[in-house]
Amino acid sequence: MPKSYNADQIQVLEGLEAVRMRPGMYIGTTSSQGLHHLLWEIVDNAMDEASNGYADRVTVTLHQDGSVSVLDNGRGVPVDEHPTLHISGVEVIYTRLHAGGKFNNENYAYSGGLHGVGASVVNALSKWMTVDSYVNWGHWHIRFTSETDPKTGKVNAGKPEKPLEKVGNTRKRGTLVRFLPDDTIFEDIRFNPVTIARRLHELAYLNRGVMITFVDETAKEEDKREQVFYSEGGIIDYVKYINETKTPLSDDVIYLEGKKDSTICRLALQYTTDYADSVFSYANNIPTHEGGSHEAGFKAAYTRALNDYARKTGLLKEKDANLSGDDFREGMTCVLTVWVKNPQFEGQTKGRLGNSEVRPVVEAIVAEKLADWLDNLKNAELAGQIVGKAAKAAQAREAARKARDTVRSTKALEAAPLVGKLSAARGHHPEDNELFIVEGDSAGGSAKQGRDSRFQAILPLRGKPLNVEKKQLEQVLANEEFRSLITALGTGIGESFSLDGLKYHKVIILSDADQDGAHIRAILLTFFFRYMKELITGGHVYIGMPPLYRVAKGTKVDYAYDDKELTRLTKAAGKGYTLQRYKGLGEMNPEQLWATTMDPGQRKMLQVTIEDAAEADRMVTVLMGDKVEPRRDYISRYADFNREDTFEVPEEQRKAQEALDAGK
């Protein structure tokens, strides 16, 4: 029997006013990221209810009034009275910081925890929030509001309009939470449907059997549709999805699962003909981009088990050295999930699992289950292929090491002809320094003259760089364009990459606003993604935004960066202005390039982030890989670049939903 919830298990800490006063302390930022954080918080609560076995449906709806709601079919948040506070459990959960059964960890075995700043924080940062609990045949409702008086500064945070009340009877079970983020707190309160769909898609794979529906009532009529995310196979399906655009070595996905000391570990992996490795790890549904103890345990056990196997079967001879972990991971796509009690998230982006007790547990589970898998004769062929691929990788790695040593030795640097093209910055503070990678020699020349050489360096790129997707490190290093870039950055590459050596904390890609420019940008981003991912996740990569138009009237000059801005500027200018359309960076003189694109006080730049690493991996393969079909499909489907991309609902998911609806 599941433990049942009692209101006296709720712990009570400090007041919600503090959250409105200093939102950053609770959700990190009031940017779009912080806004979405509110939603994840509520979604996490619903998913926790599902992953603990009490719910199998979660629906997220973006409403036309700007609010968002989350519905689950779990037990319903408790409505009984708290023994000492004498208010309902619902009220305690949504008005008291850190309140909730979850936080003393007795009721929920596993919960996100990172995002677990609590539903009350969401309440405090919303103009209003409503909670409906369907429990014990009753429908209970409560509404909270918040405001900060701009004159007096008086704060009302998450106050119930009236106590929880029973508004009817119902056969439903579950919880419905709806809220409108406060526009005086967030920079922009518009949710991004693409971001939401991505996360729900990911959650559907991580929580097999949970039907997650996304309804966007704000979409334009022609785009309106329900998206259903549902996976029967869980992370096995996830790996297949990531590899859909790659070429797998075998159709089989290796799947291992185990539980030890209350830690659950699941692992799905498949090899492709690629060279890069793609390991995606999660702890309690939260992506761990920076790895951590679970990944370390997996890697150690995996490498050891496969080396043992290679020796036992004679694939590795006595005189041969062990194969390395990197060798075994070449071409591997792997999804690793763990469920742990009290997860500790560490690191710059809170993306590393810190719990040291998890490592030996995952190591033991993987060692045991993988040995079983390898002992099964049915798997001998694939196991042989894996070892064979690793042996080849080891040879290539040796060749790459030699090439890399050449790049790293200072002599080679001076000798390398293209490094001569780098116009370095005079300053020696990496945190202040910027490297512009500029398309074309003529724009490079303008950039060099226009820049502030105290902190800005210019690296012109001649022609199109090598498309690094599907190239081995050795080939990348043989390319002079990339060699000079790697040398300029000072970070090393691949396994020897380290942010410590980074000479420029801003790396800015500056290419023309046309097809070729987009291609060059894509190639450079692919390079960073495959070989220097931390450069991106560390927030160091930017895309420079040159203006598209120059509007001049008399001595007044304005620049427009998109068509909307152009309309605004020409309207404001009235009659008698001159309009210039820039077709490329090369058309700007050094002063113009500085004023519009390089001057930190005026320029526009996009910071490159990775929202969903698995999705990014897939897209990089679609757009840059060697399979033409998926790319053609993608381009023909999304040729209208003004439309944002969304996931398609596969036919089988639709059917599964219809079946469930019919049976309900």
Site for ligand 1YM contains 113 (CB under 6 A)? no
From the candidates 480, 516, 611, 645, which is the catalytic residue?
Answer: 516
CB 26 within 8 A of CB 20: no
Nearer to ligand 1YM, 80 or 252 (CB): 80
Cβ burial, residue 408 (10 Å; 0-12/13-18/19+) = middle
Nearer to ligand 1YM, 70 or 323 (CB): 70
Minimum distance of ligand 1YM from residue 337's CB (angstroms): 21
Minimum distance of ligand 1YM from residue 325's CB (angstroms): 38
Minimum distance of ligand 1YM from residue 70's CB (angstroms): 4
Binding pattern for the stretch 146-175 against ligand 1YM, x by CB under 6 A and - elsewhere: -----------------------------x
Minimum distance of ligand 1YM from residue 131's CB (angstroms): 8
Give the separation between CA 135 and CA 171, rounded to whole angstroms. Answer: 9
Nearer to ligand 1YM, 5 or 214 (CB): 5
Using CB under 6 A, which residues numbered 417 to 446 contact ligand 1YM? none
Letter string b/e over residues 143-168, b meaning 16 or more CB atoms within 10 A of that residue's CB: bbbbebeeeeeebebbebeeebeeee
State the amino acid at position 416 in one-letter form.
A
Give the separation between CA 477 and CA 403, rounded to whole angstroms. Answer: 7
Cβ burial, residue 193 (10 Å; 0-12/13-18/19+) = middle
Number of residues that bind ligand 1YM (CB under 6 A): 20
Backbone angles phi, psi at 217, to 5 degrees: -80, -5
CB 55 within 8 A of CB 46: yes
Minimum distance of ligand 1YM from residue 3's CB (angstroms): 6
User: Considering only residues 11, 32, 107, 218, which one is a binding residue for ligand 1YM as defined by CB under 6 A?
Assistant: 107
Binding pattern for the stretch 65-104 against ligand 1YM, x by CB under 6 A and - elsewhere: -----x-x-xx-xx--------------x------xxx--
State the amino acid at position 94 in one-letter form.
Y
User: How remote is the C-alpha of 288 from its chain's centroid?
Assistant: 10
Binding pattern for the stretch 224-243 against ligand 1YM, x by CB under 6 A and - elsewhere: --------------------
Q: Report angle CA 76, 12, 112 to the nearest 5 degrees.
A: 55
Nearer to ligand 1YM, 121 or 264 (CB): 121
Nearest Cα residue to 215 out of 206, 202, 226, 201: 226
Side-chain half-sphere CA neighbours of 464 within 13 A: 11
CB 544 within 8 A of CB 436: yes
Nearest Cα residue to 238 out of 195, 206, 194: 206
Minimum distance of ligand 1YM from residue 661's CB (angstroms): 20
Q: Tokens 């990788």 identify what position? A: 393
Give the separation between CA 31 and CA 416, rounded to whole angstroms. Answer: 43
Nearer to ligand 1YM, 105 or 607 (CB): 105
Query: How would you classify the pairing of strands 434-439 and 286-287?
Result: unpaired
What would the two tokens of residue 245 be? 């655009």
Nearer to ligand 1YM, 3 or 583 (CB): 3
Minimum distance of ligand 1YM from residue 318's CB (angstroms): 56
Establish whether 252 is a catalytic residue: no
Establish whether 514 is a catalytic residue: yes
User: Considering only residues 177, 301, 334, 595, which one is a binding residue for ligand 1YM as defined by CB under 6 A?
Assistant: 177
State the amino acid at position 336 in one-letter form.
L
CB 435 within 8 A of CB 488: yes
Nearest Cα residue to 364 out of 394, 383, 338: 338
From the candidates 226, 514, 563, 648, which is the catalytic residue?
Answer: 514
What would the two tokens of residue 187 be? 């920079």
Using CB under 6 A, which residues numbered 6 to 65 contact ligand 1YM? 42, 45-46, 49
Minimum distance of ligand 1YM from residue 74's CB (angstroms): 4
Minimum distance of ligand 1YM from residue 340's CB (angstroms): 17
Nearest Cα residue to 262 out of 341, 364, 354: 341
Nearer to ligand 1YM, 107 or 580 (CB): 107
Minimum distance of ligand 1YM from residue 115's CB (angstroms): 11
From the candidates 41, 512, 558, 617, which is the catalytic residue?
Answer: 512
Three-state SS at 271: strand
Nearer to ligand 1YM, 91 or 216 (CB): 91
Binding pattern for the stretch 306-345 against ligand 1YM, x by CB under 6 A and - elsewhere: ----------------------------------------
Bridge partner list, 135 = 138
Nearer to ligand 1YM, 84 or 376 (CB): 84
Nearer to ligand 1YM, 100 or 287 (CB): 100
Query: How would you classify the pairing of strands 68-72 and 57-62?
Result: antiparallel
Backbone angles phi, psi at 528, to 5 degrees: -65, -40
Query: Left if phi > 0, otherwise alpha if psi is -120 to 50, otherwise beta: which for 174?
Result: left
Quickly list H helices, 345-429. Answer: 358-375, 380-408, 410-415
Establish whether 512 is a catalytic residue: yes
CB 415 within 8 A of CB 487: no
Nearer to ligand 1YM, 74 or 494 (CB): 74
From the candidates 132, 274, 439, 558, which is the catalytic residue?
Answer: 439
Distances 587 to 311, 351, 550, 564, 567 between C-alpha atoms, Å: 63, 43, 11, 22, 22
Nearer to ligand 1YM, 69 or 423 (CB): 69
Minimum distance of ligand 1YM from residue 379's CB (angstroms): 41
Bridge partner list, 576 = none
Which residue's CB comes closest to ligand 1YM? 100
Minimum distance of ligand 1YM from residue 57's CB (angstroms): 11
Site for ligand 1YM contains 178 (CB under 6 A)? no
User: Considering only residues 108, 230, 298, 302, which one is a binding residue for ligand 1YM as defined by CB under 6 A?
Assistant: 108
Nearest Cα residue to 16 out of 124, 106, 115, 100: 124
Give the residue numbers marked as catalytic. Answer: 439, 512, 514, 516
Q: By CB under 6 A, name the binding residues for ligand 1YM.
A: 5, 42, 45-46, 49, 70, 72, 74-75, 77-78, 93, 100-102, 107-108, 119, 175, 177
